[in-house]
Amino acid sequence: MTDPTSAPSLREALGAPADPEFELVLPEGWVRRDVSPETERAMLDAARARLMEAHRPDLYGQLRAQLQESFEAMRRIGAIAHFGPEAGAPDSAFLPASLIASIRTPQPGATLAEEMAQRIREGATDLHGDRRFVRFQREATTRVGTERAVQTTVVYLTPVPGSRGSRALQLTAVITRGAEFPADDPALVLMQRLFDGCVATLRWDR
């Protein structure tokens, strides 16, 4: 079976130029990864080793299911990269959060500029004065194991250079907290500022 993450995209098959690469300054201990099955297996192996070291092998089954679900979800949305702690990172790098990169195109009959303008009418803003980005967020209640939790999703959109406004890079940060913690909890606010700062460092490879 062909690995869908390594197969040429429709754009590449049609001879369209590849999107430029981009770089971000990441939190200490974080790295960029692809969404291939090889990366998924490597992350599972690293998680198993970490749990064995912590004498918690009982948690591996739960973590494996969560990681597999996460990779399946990323592939469904066409993610091109995700960011998180590398093996051996300090404990402070293991945040209850994730950052995913994907490419967004407008809905049929609309332009990307129109969609971004609609987001602004719905309450989205620029990134603290950086008008390259449209930033918006939402909250939803979910469950982590048997516990109720709240996920704050922060979405950042910026046009891909050279795409003539037809494609945008979407960076999505998802932060999970216990349902007992309020939206202005200092730890949550700090993580939001952390991701805002990371996204603001975006640089394209021309």
Q: With contact defined as beta carbons under 8 Å apart, do 179 and 148 qualify?
A: yes
**pLDDT at residue number 7:** 43
- Helices 37-53 and 60-76: crossing angle in degrees, nearest 10, is 160
Q: With contact defined as beta carbons under 8 Å apart, do 174 and 182 qualify?
A: no
Using left for φ > 0, alpha for ψ between -120 and 50, and beta otherwise, residue 205 falls in beta
pTM of the entire predicted model: 0.84
**pLDDT at residue number 164:** 87
Q: Which domains does the chain have, with CATH numbers?
A: 21-204 (3.40.1000)
Q: Token digits for 30?
A: 């974080």
Sheet holding 30-33, edge to edge: 30-33, 79-85, 97-104, 168-178, 147-159, 130-144, 125-127
Q: Token digits for 119?
A: 């987001």
**pLDDT at residue number 53:** 81
**pLDDT at residue number 131:** 93
**pLDDT at residue number 15:** 57
Q: What is the pLDDT along the chain (206 residues), one digit of tens a residue?
A: 233 334 445 555 555 678 999 999 999 999 999 999 999 999 888 888 888 888 888 887 888 888 888 899 899 988 999 999 987 889 899 899 999 999 999 888 888 889 999 999 999 999 999 999 999 999 999 877 678 999 999 999 999 999 888 899 999 999 999 999 999 999 999 999 999 999 999 999 97
Q: With contact defined as beta carbons under 8 Å apart, do 160 and 206 qualify?
A: no
How is 61-102 classified by DSSP, letter by letter?
A: HHHHHHHHHHHHHHHHTTEEEEEEEPTT--GGG--SEEEEEE
Rounded distance between C-alpha atoms, residue 100 and residue 34, angstroms: 10
Residue 152's closest CA among 133, 168, 135?
Answer: 135
